[in-house]
Chain A
């Protein structure tokens, strides 16, 4: 580890008076703020995806809609036929654990709450339902399955909700990749700013550095002083950034919870997620320190 407390006690380089310190502090604060909010987004999307995937995995429902035909008997037979073919297709799927076509009784029981006891179901154009239990860990390509089902049973339709959820999952996963790219970008831009301000500072303190070198100081001795200073700036900037980000994250969460439908409800930040966000100053301090350290080593090798 490059960090040595022993040598951080003396600071021959008057780095605390560098005018770039304020710039770096503000820069790091803004970066950590953006990082924290984006990270909260990534973590929220993640927990949402976990919940959605859990509800999407496990099971799926296929519905066979009645054929419209004036001959009710014939239409009913056609529907049952399609149901059988659909069941055959679904059972053949390697991901399927158990495929059950719901019986008339079961259908009636499902509908009773809406229709009451007096309605004769046989008089109504009732759809048939097939319940498919999936093996654990199985992932279904809904679009492909829907297409396959259409060839054997044109009246079959996949559970709408899940199809829609599947699209939402893809969207959220894309959003997550984008957010991760933003996180990398924020780290990159901040490291770049630290790189250039450190280089400028080295030029500014050339006289002192020359003296240190002539006294026999190695580059690491100088690099440690920069690392110490910049680690401090990284920590302070990080604390300011997180302090600003936490209320904003709460505000966004509050606004999101007002959306009806319970989609966003799944996007809770866990204890671990909050811990990660709150410990960002440690991270920013480390990144700042490492960047400054290697900038000094690299620049000095070229400069003198």
Chain B
């Protein structure tokens, strides 16, 4: 890696393997070190293991072997309570949003703040502000299941960034929007990154990768390679 090595990596994987049940390893011998404040795309064909790698980074999927460290802590030795505390510092945009469909947009966005025990007055202020920013301010109290796909996506992104996470993981956040909106969302992630958030975005969108010059984490044949910003390798599959 060409990045500076002086600072401690915020996420570090060493000889990590992921498998589901008794199936074959989806990813094998993964070594990866993400510096604080870095920005990466995550690419690979469908089924390559992008979602699996991200779910390990948001501390849901446990590595079936190897070491995963986050914020300088070996996750293998962390107890349930500290896992919860680590997760509060990670924002996630899921591929399928995974919003709570039966509560309002407001309650969805407020969720990360409520689980960490913030008082309702402060929550109201922050959530309304952000919802206005992602242009959901008309339908904040509408039940989430009645929102359009685009609105749900913005709610999902708002939920991921509401508590200014140290790490933002987004799983194909621009999957089903047109290029204009995709670019707008990317600009939001770039802004967050400038404020210090470490960002990893799984995407198929070649235009974005070409437009925004960030390095790529490429998954292929159960292995991982890093392609530096602006470069294209022949074996890079999107």
Which residues on A are within 8 Å of B, measured CB to CB? Answer: 7, 9-10, 12, 14, 207-208, 210-219, 221, 301
Q: Which residue from B85, B111, B120 sits with its C-beta under 8 Å from A215?
A: B111
A10 B112 Cβ-Cβ under 8 A? no
CA distance A12 to B113 in the complex (A): 13
Closest to A14 in B: B102
Q: Which residue in chain B gives the minimum CB-CB distance to A301?
A: B80
Give the CA-CA distance A213 to B59 in the complex, in Å.
10
State the majority secondary structure of interface residues on A.
Answer: helix
CB-CB under 8 A from A219, the residues of chain B are: 80
- Please list 11 pairs of residues, one from A and one from B, whose beta carbons are closer than 8 Å in the complex, sorted by A's number: A7-B117, A9-B120, A12-B100, A12-B107, A214-B58, A215-B88, A215-B111, A215-B115, A215-B159, A216-B116, A218-B81
In angstroms, Cα B58 to Cα A5, docked, is 30
Q: How large is the interface on B (under 10, 10 to 19, 20 to 34, 35 or more residues)?
A: 20 to 34
Q: Quick check: is B18 within 8 A (CB to CB) of the other chain?
A: no
A208 and B114 form a contact (CB under 8 A): no
Q: Is the CB of B84 within 8 A of A211?
A: no
> A12–B81 Cα gap in the complex (Å)?
20
Q: Does B20 contact A (CB under 8 A)?
A: no
Known pairs A213-B84, A214-B58 / 12 extra A-B pairs, C-beta < 8 Å: A10-B110, A12-B100, A12-B103, A14-B102, A208-B100, A211-B100, A212-B115, A215-B87, A216-B88, A216-B115, A217-B84, A221-B115
When the two chains form their complex, are residues A218 and B80 in contact, meaning their CB atoms are under 8 A apart?
yes
CB distance from B94 to the nearest CB of A (A): 9
A14 to B89, CA, bound (A): 26
Smallest Cβ-Cβ distance to A9: which chain B residue: B120
CB pair B85–A216 under 8 Å, yes or no, is: yes
Shortest distance in angstroms between A271's beta carbon and chain B's nearest beta carbon? Answer: 43
Alpha-carbon gap, A211 to B144, bound state (A): 15
Q: Within the assembled complex, what's the spacing in Å between the Cα atoms of A212 and B103?
A: 13
* 0/1 string, B193-219, CB within 8 A of A gives 1: 000000000000000000000000000
Q: Complex: how many Å from CA A300 to CA B237? A: 39
Contacts of B120 in A (CB 8 A): 9
* B114 in complex: contacting residue of A7, A14, A211, CB < 8 Å: A7
Bound-state CA distance A10–B212 (Å) is 40
Cβ contacts under 8 Å, B100 to chain A = 12, 208, 211
Residue of B nearest to A300 (CB): B80
